[in-house]
Amino acid sequence: MQKFKPYTLLFIFLSLSMFSLGQERYKIRAGDPNGINKWYMGRQIAHVMSHFGIDWLEREEREMEENTSLLLKNLAVKPGMVVADIGAGSGYHSALLSKMVGTGKVFAVDVEPEMIAYLNARIKQEKLSRIVPVLSTEQKVSLPENTIDMMLLVDVYHEFSFPYEMALSMRAALKPGGKLVLVEFRAEDPTVPIKTIHKMSEAQAIKEFKAAGFAFDKNIDNLPWQHCMVFTKQ
């Protein structure tokens, strides 16, 4: 009979425990066909918008529909700040943020290599020297700990396949007292012309981010269709 060393048994035990916790955290069941069959805290996770959606991200009417200018005012970014655009996609928000940080920096984080390639080309073409593209994983933002002043997530968090793990990773990357701004289409408003699975309620967002160690500050609810919720790293 094979004998295991004590530390090997401990590793096996911890691995099984983590697997069990993951199984309990997420539920697998069918739901909206626009989502994956995975649920977190009562919410079905949506399919990820891939690089094939770049044209939609860069649509001309986006400013009018979402009032991006007002969102940027809400952020109150100051020169010298280090900002992370999580789920940066085509770099729509990253490009605008890069003009606000002065000597600071914008980390444009995305999980798709194709998006990172697009970002690199855009940075070169538009001379956006303050933007640093970062390829993340499904569970980690791949940013150094305690380095980010503010994180911005626009219409992306609801697509994370591992929202709890990503929230922990984002929290670790923020500086003490750092801010996370979550922008999601309002689930409470049936007139918002977006599929239900791509919306999120304020109550749901607070529940999920509190579970990862964030404190809810406020909802700057002045955008046409979206919540603008501010959380702080505790």
- Residue of 110, 183, 176 whose CA lies nearest to 143: 110
Residue 120 resides in a domain: yes
Q: What is the spatial distance between Cα 148 and Cα 195, in angstroms, rounded to a whole number?
A: 32
Q: How many CA atoms does the CB half-sphere of 53 hold within 13 Å?
A: 13
Kindly report the length of the chain.
Answer: 234
Q: Quick check: is 142 in a domain?
A: yes
Give the angle subtended at the CA of 66 by the CAs of 210 and 79, to the nearest 5°. Answer: 70
Q: Which domain holds residue 93?
A: 48-233
On whether residue 156 sits in a domain, the answer given is: yes
3-state DSSP assignment of residue 197: helix
The answer to whether residue 165 is domain-embedded is yes
129, part of any domain = yes
Whether the model clears a pTM of 0.95, i.e. scores above it, the answer is no
Residue 79's CATH number? 3.40.50.150
Strand partners, 184: 227
Residue 34 located in a structural domain:
no
Instruction: Give the total number of structural domains in the chain.
Output: 1
Beta carbons within 10 angstroms of residue 16's beta carbon = 10
Measured in whole angstroms, the distance separating CA 147 from the mean position of its chain's CA atoms is 17
Report if residue 9 sits inside a domain: no
Q: Could you report the per-residue pLDDT of 43-101, keeping only the tens digit for each?
A: 999 999 889 999 999 999 999 999 999 999 999 999 999 999 999 999 999 999 999 99
What tens digit of pLDDT does each residue of 166-223 get? 999 999 999 999 999 999 999 999 999 999 999 999 999 999 999 999 999 999 999 9
Q: In 46-72, which positions are buried (b, 16+ CB within 10 angstroms) versus exposed (e)? A: beebebeebeebeeeeeeeebbbeebb
Asked if the structure places residue 4 within a domain, the reply is no
